[in-house]
Structure 1
Amino acid sequence: MPEIEAAQSGEIDRQGVACPTIAVCMPAYNAEHLLSRSLGAIGKSTRLPDEIIIFDDASTDRTAVVAVELGARVIKGEANAGPGAGRNLLATETDADFLLFVDADVVIDPGAIERLEAVLVSRPDVAATFGAYNDRPHHSGAASMYANLRHHFIHRQNAGECRTFWSGLGMIRRDVFCHFGGYDSHRFAGPSIEDVDLGARMTAQGQKIILEPRAQGAHLKKWTLKGLWRSDIFDRALPWARLIRADMMPVGQLNGGGMEQLRALLAYGILGAFALTLISAVPFWSVGLVGAAYVLANAPFFMLLLDRSGIRRTLIGMFLHWVYHLYASAIIGSALIARLSSKIWQSIFSSKQKSRSSL
């Protein structure tokens, strides 16, 4: 493919100044049906990368063949290792200054690479930057529209410095990535929050990460309701909770900020108000009152849903969002309580030990 082959050269900008080199690192598993779009979009970027490397994670289809036909260099895995391990391996296969991680099911916008590079070039103190899904999901089903627009909205609302990272479309200085040992592929063998964990480890050591929501890409994944809830709960919320309990994860980032906590409280308020109407004389309109407050608190997101997906899918999305606030806040909240309880008991035990030693 001429566009991608052209991306393998050119390290001088229009003023004749040496540019940082960029290597696109893309893990792929059974992605032959996706690569023509994801790699094709990279080849149409306003800033072409200097190298495109694919990790074929022991695919059973023609992923490797298609990637080579499209001009990418392919590293083949002998056994399915997961995206984190794949990205770590790809980082050792290049000497580029910046690593650009892109998922195989993400079709980046033409200016995405240029926007991310601009952050790292203009801010030498920033170690990494990442973008967002755009507001034009590939699949129009209710679950797909909700999941992708939720991601887009959360990233759009949290532009600037943050304490997390995203591998769907994220750029990082290669020396920093190697210094931190890349992704923890032992803790996160499959697709999970390995990128969030990396960002937390980096920022805990003083590294800066910038969310640049104008760097966007379309998500090609077709979500089902079952797949969405399984991913939200088992691939994200529960692993996140384990890290919180171990005091290894910051709280209050992206979808855990103050407004999100308020929305979660209102979501439970709806349940509480409904329960009170069943067991007491509390009027039923109180449920509507709390529900209206919940809708008002989420109005910007619900308006985005309405604008992009219509009334029927918006109503479904509103219900999915309410359920999301219930299960996500329950899991994360229990982890916070467990961590706080552990610290209290440790403090009590430490005080008793000091008292005994002073006798």
Structure 2
Amino acid sequence: MIVSIVIPVYNGGESFQKCLSSLQQFVPPETEVVVVVDGGTDRSEQLARSFGAKVVTFPTASGPARARNHGAKIATGDILLFLDADVTIHADTLPQVRKIFEERSDVAALIGSYDDAPGAPNFLSQYKNLFHHYTHQTGVTEASTFWGACGAIRRDVFLELGGFDENYRYPSVEDIDLGYRLKKAGYRIELCKTVLVKHLKCWRLLNLLKAEFFYRALPWTELIWRDRQFVNDLNLQISSRISIILAYCLAISVPIAFLWIGAVAIAMLFGLALLFINWPVYQFFYQQRGGWFACGTVFWHWLYFLYGGLAFAIGTIRYHSVSRHTPHQPKLLEILEL
């Protein structure tokens, strides 16, 4: 079972170099590595060639969906392993992927997980990448979606479904869309929690909110409505939906408390309810990084519920009124890129 690794990159920088170094360290030299340079102004192309990768270059960026599709077309392996340019693999990542496909004929695709040791040291990066790790480690084994950062799929199945939707011109929900189409076609996607990669991305407030609100939550909402994928898994767990309601009740009751003293007790009840329903998450953070870190994550986690709920509301209105039949990324994204 031959595995081809496909990596889209746009101004990959130091993280891309570490990604390639991990492949050089843990991947047999005969393994095909296809790098698609999706525009950019740095030395990603030269770097990829120096590591012996098969390189394709686009002069202008059009998003990882097109880049991955082109890489898949020129790849020769039976299995396509898609990796992001800002992740590094472990020694057993590739062997596990190959073994699963060799032993499990029922598995058409699999997704892995970030490990519990993110590369960027700042608090927001540690929190966000650890939260992503927790989400995958607590997800159900039969996944409901695909994941482009560390996802593998049988090449014939990928080509049969037409690959990623290239209408997504930014790093967005093209992988989730592919996962929904895989499930609709009757294929099985396996969440393999031991297939790990390390995420090197450094998250800051603005790029986090931009990515999560505009690039993920808004278009994901439209996909949910399009395919009616209200599954109790990963980011869509019932506990998360309840937490969104509680977070907004808390946000409304706090300013009311300045006008009516009775609202203080109500706000405290909503806060305690949020803590209770999400206690396993905070316990995980405590075990990973200690008490102070766990306390610091509470604000960001509750903020996540607030902007996630707002994105779902806007996305729902947009789907039912504007783009019901063509759920692509909001035009606001193009304005942000100007």
- The 5 Å alignment of 1:180-199 reads 180-186=161-167, 188-199=168-179
**Contact 1:117-1:171 at 8 Å conserved across structures:** no
Tell me what 1:261 maps to.
241
Candidates 60, 72, 78, aligned match of 1:79? 60
- When residues 279 and 120 of structure 1 are mapped into structure 2, their CA distance, relative to the original with a 3 A threshold, is farther
Q: Does the alignment pair 1:288 with 2:277?
A: no
- The 5 Å alignment of 1:1-359 reads 20-45=1-26, 50-186=31-167, 188-245=168-225, 247-248=226-227, 250-252=229-231, 253-280=233-260, 282=262, 284-333=264-313, 335=315
For the residue of structure 1 that corresponds to 2:101, the secondary structure is helix
- When residues 340 and 32 of structure 1 are mapped into structure 2, their CA distance, relative to the original with a 3 A threshold, is closer
For the residue of structure 2 that corresponds to 1:184, the secondary structure is coil
Tell me what 2:334 maps to.
none
**Contact 1:42-1:110 at 8 Å conserved across structures:** no
Please tell me the residue identity of whatever aligns with 2:268: G
**2:89, 2:314 → 1: CA distance?**
37
Tell me by how many angstroms 1:272 deviates.
4.0
**2:320, 2:215 → 1: CA distance?**
24
**1:31, 1:262 → 2: CA distance?**
38
What is the TM-score when the length of structure 2 is the normalising length?
0.87
**Contact 2:24-2:51 at 8 Å conserved across structures:** no
**Contact 1:21-1:49 at 8 Å conserved across structures:** no
For the residue of structure 1 that corresponds to 2:74, the secondary structure is coil
**2:286, 2:83 → 1: CA distance?**
29
For the residue of structure 2 that corresponds to 1:162, the secondary structure is coil
Tell me what 2:333 maps to.
none
**1:63, 1:223 → 2: CA distance?**
21
**1:185, 1:338 → 2: CA distance?**
21
- Structure 2: any 5+ residue segments left out of the alignment? 323-338
**Cα deviation code 1:292-341 (max 9, x no counterpart):** 22112212222232333444443332111101101212322555578799
For the residue of structure 1 that corresponds to 2:191, the secondary structure is strand
For the residue of structure 2 that corresponds to 1:284, the secondary structure is helix
**2:186, 2:17 → 1: CA distance?**
39
- When residues 341 and 190 of structure 1 are mapped into structure 2, their CA distance, relative to the original with a 3 A threshold, is closer
Bigger shift: 43-52 or 167-176?
43-52
Tell me by how many angstroms 1:154 deviates.
0.7
- When residues 210 and 130 of structure 1 are mapped into structure 2, their CA distance, relative to the original with a 3 A threshold, is same
**1:324, 1:74 → 2: CA distance?**
38
- When residues 227 and 49 of structure 1 are mapped into structure 2, their CA distance, relative to the original with a 3 A threshold, is farther
**Cα deviation code 1:109-161 (max 9, x no counterpart):** 21122223333222212210011111111112121112111111111110411
Tell me by how many angstroms 1:70 deviates.
1.3
**2:195, 2:122 → 1: CA distance?**
24
**1:80, 1:270 → 2: CA distance?**
42
- Structure 1: any 5+ residue segments left out of the alignment? 1-19, 343-359
- Output the aligned Cα RMSD: 2.3
- When residues 220 and 341 of structure 1 are mapped into structure 2, their CA distance, relative to the original with a 3 A threshold, is closer
**2:275, 2:18 → 1: CA distance?**
37
Bigger shift: 50-59 or 272-281?
272-281
Please tell me the residue identity of whatever aligns with 1:300: P
**Contact 1:108-1:217 at 8 Å conserved across structures:** yes
- When residues 168 and 74 of structure 1 are mapped into structure 2, their CA distance, relative to the original with a 3 A threshold, is same
Paired positions, count? 321
**Contact 1:138-1:221 at 8 Å conserved across structures:** yes
**2:119, 2:38 → 1: CA distance?**
24
For the residue of structure 1 that corresponds to 2:142, the secondary structure is strand
Tell me by how many angstroms 1:241 deviates.
2.0
Tell me by how many angstroms 1:32 deviates.
4.1
Please tell me the residue identity of whatever aligns with 1:299: W
